[in-house]
Amino acid sequence: MIFIRYESFRVYLRMYPVTSGIIALNIAYFIIVALSGSTTDGYHVYEFGSFYTDADDPFSLDQPWRYVTSMFMHAGLMHLLFNMFSLLVFAPPLEHLLRKVRYGVFYLLCGILANAFSALLALILGEPGVHAVGASGAIYGVYGAFLYIALFRKPWLDEGSRKTVYSILIFGLIYSVITPQISLWGHVGGGLAGFLLYSSFDRAMVRRKRIR
């Protein structure tokens, strides 16, 4: 089972520096936001960079930084802890596979595309807009990458790891549907982004191996 972490704290930091840095940034920014107000207050988190769209700016193009800042914000301590636990457990094997720089780019793109997808669906469905925070779009990107691996690179994952990937995605999407305050389309968008991005990375890595 590749999702069981055996490393000590020091070894974890050395082996997975990008994941460790992402977790640290999420915790630090949560503390900064919490020290100046409530992390569940809509206006307060808006001031600190939550992802926000409305009818006048359906894709937040006037404030594009929100695509990134919102990925490091969380609405309450439990939201932060749940997402950081998910990163802590599931992201390291992907960082190992993609290597540091490629994995960092992958993570950021998944979060950005998750926000863009939620904005697009809000526009298509005629919803008033999006107001979202959290790392879950990027985390679902990690899940999407492992779904690709589970389907098309089966020898890379043991049976228990494959079942874990399927279970997380199934139950995660069900939970996203039945819980109103969770961004279903952000999760779906992140998962699709991760699946497609990892597919492109995988094909590129295969081509390089053939050339060698």
Active site residues: 136, 187
Query: Shortest CA distance to 16 belongs to which of 81, 137, 99?
Result: 99
**E strands along 84-164, which residues?**
131-132
Based on its alpha-carbon atoms, the radius of gyration of the chain, rounded to whole angstroms, reads: 17
Q: Rounded distance, CA 25 to CA 6, Å? A: 23
Print burial letters for 16-53: b (CB count within 10 Å at least 16), e (below 16). Answer: bebbbebbeebeebbeebbeeeebeeeeebbebbbbbb
- In whole angstroms, how far apart are CA 65 and each of 51, 59, 127, 136? 9, 12, 22, 18
